[in-house]
Amino acid sequence: MAGPAPLEDLPPRASKDVQKYLLPGESAVVATRRHWAVLIEPTVKFLPVFVAGGWLLLYDPDNRVTSSAGLIVLVAALVYYGLRVGEWWMRHFIVSTRRVLLTSGVIVRTVTLLPLRRITDLTWKETLLGQVLGYGTFRFESAGQQQALSEITFLPGADVLYRRVSALLFSSDWGGGGAASAGDDEGNLEPPPSTSPGWPGRRDTEPIQGLPPQQS
């Protein structure tokens, strides 16, 4: 089963998203486009309409009504399918050392993110067709309210992705017992505790040298 491409072999669009949306000091562990199987349903919807539009256009070329209707149907079908293909081409699933991101949008770009620190569980699911074609679904469970990235479908080489993301979240491969086990919501290390009154090393109660003694 073919897995996602190595990061150094990413297509230009994915590399651009990685460079544009990751923070300084943040590196990508996974960056991939969704599996081409996501286009099966749009293709099934597109083909009959496209064939019907072509038939109307060619059935009676001298009839303006049927020719115009056929042309409108053809253009509408092509626009619909073009938008679906464009959305598939522009959408990328990115996992960095701090966050999970999903970039999408052809005309208006949208970036949805989930800090690794909030992820409490990760589920990987493969249907029968997914096992044959090589794609799966990730389901993230997180602390707090429902997240927009709770489920991502049609991920290629989901078994490889699952191992990479699990190692990032729950193992010590990335330091500190996993990215989700320490640090703040963006994966930064927690600051050291401040020395406030009552903490070891604080000397607020010691007298200030050089002051005259208090009169009783």
Per the structure, the complete domain to which residue 65 belongs is given by 42-86
The reply to whether 123 falls in a domain is: no
Q: How far apart are CA 114 and CA 102, in angstroms?
A: 9
The reply to whether 52 falls in a domain is: yes
* Residue of 200, 179, 196 whose CA lies nearest to 188: 179
The reply to whether 58 falls in a domain is: yes
pLDDT digits (tens, 9 = 90+) for 93-126: 999 989 999 998 888 889 998 888 888 888 889 8
Band of the pLDDT at 37, cuts 50, 70, 90?
Answer: very high
pLDDT in the model for residue 35: 94
* Residue of 1, 85, 11, 77 whose CA lies nearest to 45: 77
Number of domains forming the structure of the chain: 1
pLDDT digits (tens, 9 = 90+) for 159-204: 888 888 888 887 654 444 455 544 554 445 455 555 445 445 454 4
The reply to whether 56 falls in a domain is: yes
Question: Among residues of the chain, what percentage have pLDDT more than 90?
Answer: 31
Q: CA dist 169 to 17, 69, 180, Å?
A: 22, 55, 5
The reply to whether 77 falls in a domain is: yes
The reply to whether 33 falls in a domain is: no
pLDDT digits (tens, 9 = 90+) for 50-67: 999 999 988 888 888 888
The reply to whether 110 falls in a domain is: no
The reply to whether 155 falls in a domain is: no
Single pTM value for the model: 0.70
